[in-house]
Amino acid sequence: MANGEDRTPVLQNEDWWSCFIGWLFIALATFHLLPAAPKIGTWTELSQIFPKGWSTLTTTALFFLVSLVSTYIAGIYLKFDLKKYIPGFLGIFLLSFISMVIAKQQFINEWGISYVLFALVFGLVISNLFKVPDFLKAAGQTEFFVKIGLVCMGATIMFSVVLKAGLVGVVQAVLVATTVWFMTYHICRWFKVSERFSAIIASANAICGVSATIAAGGAIQGNPKEISYMVAWVLVCAVVLILVMPPMAVWMGLPNNMAGAWLGGVIDNTGAVIAAGEVVGGKAAVDAAAMVKMAQNVLIGFAAFGMALWATMKLERAEGMEAPTLMEVWYRFPKFVVGFMAASLIVSFLVEPVYGNKFAKGVAKATKSYRSWFFTFCFVSIGLETDFKELVSVGGGRPAIAYWISQALNAVWTLFIVWILWSGTFFVPPILPD
């Protein structure tokens, strides 16, 4: 991704435009003016794809227009090839729509396989088997799409979740996330993985998989191919852990609340966490898994902000730049991270106190849908510009080895923390076994 330093006028700055568009979506959601994103149902038969019937097509068309017009206006100032952008964006939108539909197939959905993987695969198939049309290249605004998605994601990070998770959930999230992040980072560096890529892998392993991978990659201006590589491994790992961890929890004789807390702390994909909790069985397992994962998700904002600051002040200096002044730090700091944090703070400390928790959750739900779609646009675009051989050979296999070793150590460390916090030996657990 591009370097964070940018002194261009605000209206010619991609970061600021991602903030403006994301904030606009959040404001419209607050006043119930944001058109709904298409709702695709979980399906086993094609007739179940559109739970609201053919009216879904109207919703889809309106959402397409909102997405197109907002990015097209930005494209006027950002010098997009506007003649090719409209048909190209339509193509990316259709590929994204198909990706969403496939990910909602019941079997695929139960295993927590994300829509972004299918989006990436579609893009890779087109770019590696065919010549990518110029109009698709013009619309493949990878960084712009992911930045808009991240600003929208900020509205979903509500600090009231910390209170809901309780002291035990927060302590586990912090102890696991911080320890595992630094452990994973240093293991990656030992395997000669670059500092930026190591930070992306550490965030994926320590916080919450796909979302943390994308947020970290954006915050430190990471390589899109490395982000895609890590997303793929996170999803593969989630499937493996769903198969392995529940039987291990039963074999070790863990009460289902402890088993759920262990799953929530180790498995990186939120959907896969819930699926694994259901495999263990019992309400306590699912509730504990969800609670721990929610507490970890809140850490995304702090992690993204901290890594953006670290990249700005340390990495760029190590890459040959002079020690930055405070103004230089501001110029280089990725502004969409500011937009991300602002969105989280506004929803947490303005919208929720004024309108209530239920209303704020509605705003978060609406913007979460937009986040998902813009992430999908991003991964279709990444696939369209990526050589498959380059993607699978990223780092010569070293990043994958480092990730799997770190994931194994994560499971051991998290089990130890879960025993301390959830066994009842030292504290009364917030969720009792059933």
What residue numbers bound the domain in which 170 lies? 10-422
Confirm whether 433 is domain-assigned: no
pLDDT at 239: 83
The whole-number pLDDT of residue 39 equals 87
427 within some domain: no
User: 373-396 burial, b if ≥16 CB within 10 A, otherwise e?
Assistant: bbbbbbbbbbbbbbeeeebeebbe
* Residue 150 forms part of a structural domain: yes
pLDDT of residue 50: 82
Whether 389 maps to a domain, the answer reads yes
What pLDDT score was predicted for residue 56?
Answer: 82
Residue 434 forms part of a structural domain: no
pTM across the whole model: 0.85
Structural domain total, the chain: 1
pLDDT in tens, 245-302: 999 999 999 999 999 999 999 987 777 788 888 888 889 998 898 888 888 888 888 8
Report the chain's terminal Cα–Cα distance, integer Å: 48
Within a domain: residue 183? yes
Answer whether 4's CB lies under 8 Å from 221's CB. Answer: yes
Residue 300 falls inside a structural domain = yes
- Positions in the chain whose pLDDT score sits under 50: 2-5
pLDDT score of 254 = 95
Does 1 reside within a domain?
no
288-318 exposure pattern, b = at least 16 Cβ within 10 A, e = fewer: bbbbbbbbbbbbbbebbbebbeebbeebbee
